[in-house]
Amino acid sequence: MKKAIILLSIGAVLSTTASAADAKTKKDSKKDSKTPVVVNPMTNKLDSMSYALGLNVGADFAQSIKKIPGGKSNLDLVVKGFVTAMKGDSALMSKELATTTLRTYIMEEQQKETDAKKIVGEKFLAENKSKEGVNTTESGLQYQVIVPAAGPKPAATDSVKVHYTGTLIDGTKFDSSVDRGQPITFPLNQVIPGWTEGVQLMSVGAKYKFFIPYNLGYGAQGAGETIPPYSTLIFDVELLSFSPAKPVVAPAPVVEPVKEEAPAAKTKKSAKAKK
């Protein structure tokens, strides 16, 4: 009887402990449901390293594959081709054909993306130019006078001081001297053509909004990761001041004095000859 009571007591303790553990697990799970369960099913260090290597390579590759033009791929076939290459098994296509196929696909998808970006920019500018207050220059630059000002205007060779904010047509802000609280000064002929042309229309104190086609901006190359290729750009610009660019004075060439060679010493024989 005592034995039975002891067993029941032990069972009750185990049940209570299990319930408490289960409650704690559920509580922790709710607290941080994203915390991965750390399990290492590998039986030796080589297998553990191999699996870890696969995870690391896979994670990096997963990020890279998202950057392929078009943004799509058949992951099952990607893995199949990867494993085939790793094992050296017989492949469905030669290495040369694989390289050509990949290159051709990327070039075609890049062209599609380029054409799409051009169309979006052209459509935006076509609609924008008909809006009230928007002017279009012969080059295709569009501008809107936000705050007018009278007075002299800078020349392309002048140095200007401005505050500005730059955005893409989808509203993405990529740069702003206003946010930094620090205006910028630069020679006007050393920036993108849209700026060189547009700022010359302004007087000190004026604020303009420029709508710059890609060919007057950063063109087919874009600028880093913030400005994609073929981007139409929007700039809010305030001209604070300008001054003639300082001429670059080349340093005077250093002319070393010509050293005259000393006359050769007269030999005794020459002296005797004169006698």
Q: What is the pLDDT of residue 20?
A: 44
Q: Is the pLDDT of residue 95 over 50?
A: yes
In a domain, 192, yes or no: yes
**60 is annotated as an active-site residue:** no
Burial, 8: exposed, middle or buried (Cβ in 10 Å; 0-12, 13-18, 19+)? exposed
Out of 143, 164, 211, 242, pick the active-site residue. 164
In a domain, 271, yes or no: no
Q: What is residue 134's DSSP assignment? A: E
Range from 55-69, 244-258, 259-273 carrying the lowest mean pLDDT = 259-273
Q: What element of type H or E holds 180?
A: helix 177-180
**227 is annotated as an active-site residue:** no
In a domain, 263, yes or no: no
Given CA atoms 139, 141, 142, 143 in this order, what sign does their dihedral have?
negative
Nearest Cα to Cα of residue 210 among 198, 228, 223, 201: 198
In a domain, 129, yes or no: no
Q: Is the pLDDT of residue 147 over 50?
A: yes
User: What domain range is 189 assigned to?
Assistant: 137-244
In this structure, how many other beta carbons lie within 10 angstroms of the beta carbon of residue 242?
A: 22
**214 is annotated as an active-site residue:** no
**10 is annotated as an active-site residue:** no
Out of 68, 124, 175, 184, pick the active-site residue. 175
d(CA 209, CA 146): 7
Q: Is the pLDDT of residue 166 over 90?
A: yes
Given CA atoms 131, 127, 120, 198 in this order, what sign does their dihedral have?
negative
**Residue 7 — pLDDT band, cuts 50, 70, 90?**
very low
**Residue 250 — pLDDT band, cuts 50, 70, 90?**
low
**218 is annotated as an active-site residue:** yes
Out of 143, 210, 230, 235, pick the active-site residue. 235
Q: What element of type H or E holds 165?
A: strand 158-168
**Residue 64 — pLDDT band, cuts 50, 70, 90?**
confident
Report the relative pairing of strands 134-136 and 142-147 from DSSP bridges. Answer: antiparallel
In a domain, 10, yes or no: no
Q: What is the mean pLDDT of residues 87-114?
A: 89
In a domain, 48, yes or no: no
In a domain, 76, yes or no: no
CATH number for position 229 = 3.10.50.40
Q: What is the mean pLDDT of residues 226-250?
A: 86
d(CA 193, CA 154): 15
Give pLDDT tens digits for 22-63: 554 454 545 455 556 566 777 888 988 988 998 898 898 888
In a domain, 186, yes or no: yes
* Position with higher pLDDT, 148 vs 263: 148
Number of domains in the chain: 1
**235 is annotated as an active-site residue:** yes
